A and B are shown apart, each in its own frame.
Chain A
Amino acid sequence: MNEVKPKSRDTETSPPQTTNERRGFLSSAAAITAAALGGLLGVGPLAIGLYATVMDPLRKKTTPQKAAGSAGATGAKEGYYFVAQIGELDSHVPRRFTIVADKIDAWNFMKDQPIGAVYMRMQGEQIECFHTTCPHAGCAVSYELESQAYLCPCHNSSFKVDGSKLEFSGSSNPSPRGLDALEVDVQGTNVFVKYEDYFTGRHDQVAK
């Protein structure tokens, strides 16, 4: 009942006169061109896609937010954000302050968004200001009144109230450095902070 003729099958699957062309894979100009073209055709679209995907985030400025003039605070220096009025700082307990600024997320513009937070307290005439991001792996530390220390909820990093690393006996503290101190600028009663994000996991405080 098999109606298929072996002959016709043969002619379809094995084209004739192949011996000459198979002699060397890259033996002729045509072969080299074809191979190069094949490679280019594969790489071309990939390169175009990668270029856009790689360059877009790399060429963006590090902080797309503009400092907001909230609470009537003006006179901010470049890169500084208004965070508090000096009367809000306590001389013992660090307080957490949210930084509010306009935010751009890709195609969206959002006015007055919380973009980050700092801990601040008065130390004599000086203002101590720390980034809330743990320098170990980027979780957010919080100040615990009971132990009078900054504690990170992730990998057991902990810091003294002055920001330096706290060494518990019998427990490791994986943070490579103390909390990141931020520069503060006081104008009248307004406190401005140079708010930047820093690379975590490095021995030195390096801005992103």
Chain B
Amino acid sequence: MFRKLYNWFDSRTGAQASLEEALYENIPGGAKWRYVSGSMLVFAFMTQMITGLFLWMHYSPGSQNAWASVYYITFEMEGGNLLRGVHHVMAQAMVCLLPIHLLQVVIEKAYTKPREFNWWLGLVLMLITLALGLTGYLLPWDQKGYWATKVATELAALPPVIGGLTQKLIVGGTDYGHFTLTRFFALHAGVLPGLLIGFLVLHLAMFRKHGITAHSSPHRPDQLFWPMQVLKDGIACALLFAVVVFAAIAEPVELGPPAEPTEAFGAARPEWYFLFLFQMLKYFDGSLGFNTELVGAIVLPAVLVGFMFAMPLIARKKFGHHLNVTVIVVIVSAAVYLTWEAKQEDNYYLNHPDDTQSAPYKKSKRFHEEVGRSEKEFELIQQLVKDYGIPLEGPTALQQRDPLTMGLRLFRRQCASCHAYSHEEFAIAGPASPAATSDSPGNYGAPDLAYFGSVKWIRGLLSNDSVTGIRGERYFGKTLHVAGEMAEHVHETLWAAAETEADRQALATQIEQVAWALSAEAKLPYLDYAANQEKIDAGIGHLNDDTLGCIGCHNYGDNEDGYVIDLNGYASVDWLTKMISDPAQTGFYDGGSENDRMPSFHSEATKLLTPREIELLVRFLREDHTLLDD
């Protein structure tokens, strides 16, 4: 019955004959393990097609949606991380298999007559695969993909005359945006795989026409493709798949923070298999007067690919084959070396921990800081997404309402040239003071603003410790105030007068109470004021009685004779907003005479920060992390 059905099927379709045609390929010298690389590449591509199709079912190109959908796939979709992980790892496996397959073909001399066309088809397949890698890198629309791909599309504009047009065509305009994503996605999921399938069919047809290149092993009999070679291919592909799945599980695929066109990512690197091209660009010094970058980015790679296309023709000459092998080995070694060198440069700071003053050290350190900053930003956006979900306007709209994300960015950009922020979780380094030159005033810095307005911070300000006290670097150490009245008062009046241990104890207690009273003005969300009401009341008493001599200069409560830094509402939202906006105003550094180089960030004359940015910064400094309204 089954036999009958099969015969009917076969008579109508010719399936049996086709299958025999496909499987009973003669392999001179028999099945070998070294013939598996081609099948593995086909299998890898098939995996990419299938996993890619499923990713497509969940991916949405577009500036607002791309990152959001990839985030969903990676972190919320059941099995999504494995799906994207396998696609991600298999892509790299494919790029690793390519040179292996290519080297085999070259060494076995399988690219020469009569197989020229197959060699050319193979090269086209290689270029398409690399293009797939390049286009896929942008699709998650994270900082890394955005900035790395931006370099690639800038390079597309290098060729004279057509460069600018080419760039516009790829990017879909002059700026990165929706159309960059829609175009890259169409290329990655449609055009390039379509071309790859077409060329692969031709590649395989050509391969079947000429058969395997076997340098016959006389003692081994021929075998058919089925079953021994199929078995070997199958085992190799199964191993590859197992390794890829294992890698995807062992190291879950990552995602960077969402692309932000004006928040430059200082650690943009292409995917590792393009690092040799990235590194090569560094050696084409622009000082020669002509367009050397074009040479490094396009001409040289094009010449090398051109040479590879010419290899079958070169091989006809005497020693041509040897030349080809030599050049290919040199190219592959150079690529490996350049990749290694690129990694060395980025990791210089880890490998040479003592060479702290050299330019490579500083550059590599900045690179790692940027990587760390990007990881931190991702942690923050991940928490935001968990708490609030991603709004229609996209993930960056969420970031722009978050005091923590924006506070870190704004502080780094506007404050960190003077202030450090030595927070346990979100530290930002202060200025590394350059030597004074005619161009720069040299040694400077301002108080560390981590935990500003807290009991701990105020206690430190009122301490005479040479490192952690008011004249230490964390407070007035690098400002003109180090020699000012406040520092003098703390050192000479308060602490110098406390001669015995008991006096010092008493002073420390009073300072602690005053610190609580002042911090209570700030009402910081992370301190428990209710539990310390006694200290606060005592502190208020000291301030009103002027036990520590504060209100000679500062206003507090009923006392309005002060001329500098109002202590009413100290470090509160209103107080900080005023201080940042215009520190020269009444109640702060009145008229500016007491102000040591603190700029006005939002006043009549300057608008370095918008009111909204100041609001974010104020919340950040107070560690009030509630989102700003839209």
- List B467-482 residues whose CB lies under 8 Å from chain A: none
Taking a contact as CB atoms closer than 8 A, the residue among A71, A115, A117, A171 that contacts B607 in the complex is A71
Q: Are B178 and A145 in contact (CB under 8 A)?
A: no
Task: For A55, give the chain B residue with the smallest CB separation.
Answer: B169
The 4 closest A-B pairs by CB, nearest first: A140-B264, A87-B605, A138-B154, A176-B286
Q: Mark A190-203, 1 if CB is under 8 A from B, else 0.
A: 00000001011111
* Distance between Cα atoms of A61 and B539 in the complex (Å): 65
Task: Report the nearest B residue to A2, measured CB to CB.
Answer: B7
In the bound complex, how far is the Cα of B284 from the Cα of A136, in angstroms?
A: 10
For A140, the closest partner residue in chain B by CB is B264
Cβ contact within 8 Å between A168 and B359 = yes
Total A-B pairs, Cβ < 8 A: 179
Kindly identify, within residues 280 to 336 of chain B, every residue whose CB is under 8 Å from any CB belonging to chain A: 281-287, 289-294, 296-297
Q: Are B439 and A148 in contact (CB under 8 A)?
A: yes
Contacts of A189 in B (CB 8 A): 605
CB-defined interface of B54-91 with A at 8 Å, one 1/0 digit per residue? 00000000011000000000000000000000000000
State in angstroms the CA–CA spacing of A105 and B84 once bound together: 28
**A108 CB → nearest B CB, Å:** 7
Most buried by A among B158, B266, B294: B266
- Nearest CB on B from A151, distance (A): 7
Given the known A-B contacts A3-B11, A92-B440, A153-B267, are A63 and B297 also in contact in the complex, defined by CB atoms under 8 Å?
Answer: no
B437-A148 in contact (CB<8A): yes
Closest Cβ neighbor of A199 among chain B residues:
B157
Residues in B neighbouring A62, C-beta threshold 8 A = 174
Contact B179 A57 (CB under 8 A): yes
When A137-B154, A177-B286, A203-B289 are in contact, do A54 and B169 touch as well, CB less than 8 Å?
yes
Tell me which of B155, B172, B360 contacts A137 (CB under 8 A): B155
A155-B148 Cα distance, complex, nearest whole Å? 12
Interface residues on B, range: 35 or more
Over the window 109-143 of chain A, the binary record of Cβ atoms lying under 8 Å from chain B Cβ atoms (1 yes, 0 no) is: 00000111100000000000000100011111010
Contact A154 B174 (CB under 8 A): no
Mark each residue of chain B from 142 to 158: 1 if its CB lies under 8 Å from any CB of chain A, else 0.
00000100110011011
B284 cross-chain contacts in A, Cβ below 8 A: 174
CA distance A84 to B609 in the complex (A): 10
- Mind listing 14 A-B residue pairs with CB under 8 Å? A88-B607, A98-B262, A106-B178, A106-B179, A107-B178, A108-B63, A114-B261, A142-B266, A145-B440, A153-B264, A153-B268, A154-B151, A154-B278, A161-B439
B417 within 8 A of A: yes
B352 part of interface (Cβ distance < 8 Å): no
Contacts of B287 in A (CB 8 A): 165, 167, 173
Q: Is the CB of B7 within 8 A of A174?
A: no
Establish whether residues A138 and B291, one from each chain, have CB atoms under 8 Å apart when the complex forms: no
| A30: Cβ under 8 A from any B Cβ | no
A117 near B262 with CB under 8 A, answer yes
- A81–B605 Cα distance when bound, in Å, is 18
In the complex, which residues of chain B have a beta carbon less than 8 angstroms from the beta carbon of A140? 264, 266
Chain A residues whose C-beta falls within 8 Å of the C-beta of B175 in the assembled complex: 64, 105
Residues of A148-163 contacting chain B, CB below 8 A: 148, 151, 153-156, 161
A48 close to B (CB within 8 Å): no
Residues of A within 8 A of B64 (CB): 108
Which of B132-140, B160-168, B378-386, B528-536 touches A? B160-168
Selected contact of A139 from candidates B151, B262, B285, CB within 8 Å:
B151
Known: A174-B283, A202-B158. 9 other contacts (CB 8 A): A53-B183, A56-B172, A71-B607, A88-B605, A140-B266, A155-B278, A161-B439, A199-B157, A201-B158
The answer to whether A58 and B165 have CB atoms under 8 Å apart is yes
Contact with B along A26-38 (1 / 0, CB 8 A): 0000000000000
Instruction: Say whether B63 contacts A145, CB under 8 Å.
Output: no
Instruction: Judge whether A201 and B291 touch: CB under 8 Å.
Output: yes
| Residues B608 and A88 in contact, CB atoms below 8 Å apart | yes
When A154-B268, A199-B163 are in contact, do A137 and B293 touch as well, CB less than 8 Å? yes
Q: Are B158 and A3 in contact, CB atoms less than 8 angstroms apart?
A: no
A-side contacts of B278, CB under 8 Å:
154-155
Partner of A115, one of B155, B262, B360: B262
On whether the beta carbons of A139 and B264 are closer than 8 Å, the reply is yes
A172 and B283 contacting across the interface, CB-CB below 8 Å: yes
Q: A93-B417, A153-B268 are in contact. Are A172 and B282 (CB under 8 A)?
A: yes
Question: Does A23 sit at the interface, judged by CB under 8 A?
Answer: no
Query: Would you call A201 and B63 a contact (CB within 8 A)?
Result: no
Q: State whether the Cβ of A146 lies closer than 8 Å to any Cβ in chain B.
A: yes
Cβ of A4 under 8 Å from chain B: yes
The residue on B at minimum CB distance from A106 is B178
| A153 lies within 8 A of B367 (CB) | yes
B432 lies within 8 A of chain A by Cβ: yes
What is the 8 Å Cβ interface bit string for chain B, positions 593-605, against chain A (1 contact, 0 not)? Answer: 0000001100001
Closest to A116 in B: B262
Cβ contacts under 8 Å, A98 to chain B = 262
* Contact indicator B262/A85 (Cβ below 8 Å): no
Determine the chain B residues whose CB is within 8 A of the CB of A168 once the complex forms.
Answer: 359
Q: Are B293 and A176 in contact (CB under 8 A)?
A: yes
Q: How far is the CB of B488 from chain A (nearest CB, A)?
A: 29
Residue B171 lies at the interface, judged by CB distance under 8 Å to chain A:
yes
